[in-house]
Amino acid sequence: MIIRQATQADIPALVSLRMGLFCEVGELSDPLADLDLWQATRAYFSTAQADGSARSWVAEVGGEVVASGTLALFVRPPYPGNLSGREAYLLNMYTLPAYRKQGMASALLDAMVAHASAERLGKVWLHASDEGRPLYERVGFVANPAYLEWSATPSPLLSERREARNLD
């Protein structure tokens, strides 16, 4: 297993893994079902990797990218504890099913946390699945119920969760 920062050549794999993630969590029924999403995701990674607004890492086995993770970087106004305002949102953590439970997600996360520390990011935050939560907690992530979220186009998964909780 090789853990490395992604290059422009890895963009097709990053997009494919992201579509696999969406299928697994019920956001898409088929990774090729939404060509517009595929193209927009490819454009995002191409631009963000080039301009430095995001950094992705990949796990490679036998020359094949089998897992990935991304830090979307941004700056907000300084606040107590983070005078630079530099933060990252961790997303796109996904490992192909055949390669799970082999330490790839841990190795990717360790590389991303090391990068965040080296770059002196004041905060890294994420949305964790129930299955992924222990991975993040192991390196010091803690739950933060202090914010709410709005979306112009709520996902079907979010709508189902609202219905289940009778929040609508």
Q: What is the pLDDT of residue 158?
A: 55
> pTM for the complete prediction?
0.85
Tell me what the mean pLDDT of segment 65-77 comes to: 96
Least trusted range by pLDDT, from 23-37, 114-128, 141-155? 141-155
Confidence of residue 30 (pLDDT cuts 50, 70, 90): confident
Q: Is residue 45 within 8 Å of 14, Cβ to Cβ?
A: yes
Which residue did the predictor score with more confidence, 87 or 34?
Answer: 87
Q: CA-CA distance, 53 to 47, in Å (whole number)?
A: 8
| Chain length of the chain | 168
Tell me what the mean pLDDT of segment 150-161 comes to: 61
- What structural domains does the chain harbor? 2-165 (3.40.630.30)
Question: Looking at the predicted structure, is the pLDDT value of residue 161 above 60?
Answer: no
Q: Tens digits of per-residue pLDDT, 102-144?
A: 999 999 999 999 999 999 999 999 988 888 899 999 999 998 8
Q: What is the pLDDT of residue 3?
A: 98
Q: What is the pLDDT of residue 53?
A: 96
Q: What is the pLDDT of residue 167?
A: 55
Confidence of residue 149 (pLDDT cuts 50, 70, 90): low
Percent of the chain with pLDDT over 90: 67
Structure tokens at 119: 């770059």
Question: Looking at the predicted structure, is the pLDDT value of residue 31 above 80?
Answer: no
CA of residue 142 relative to chain centroid, distance = 17
Cβ neighbours, 10 Å, residue 105: 22
Q: Determine the longest span between alpha carbons in the chain, in angstroms.
A: 48
Confidence of residue 32 (pLDDT cuts 50, 70, 90): confident
Q: Tens digits of per-residue pLDDT, 50-61?
A: 999 999 999 999
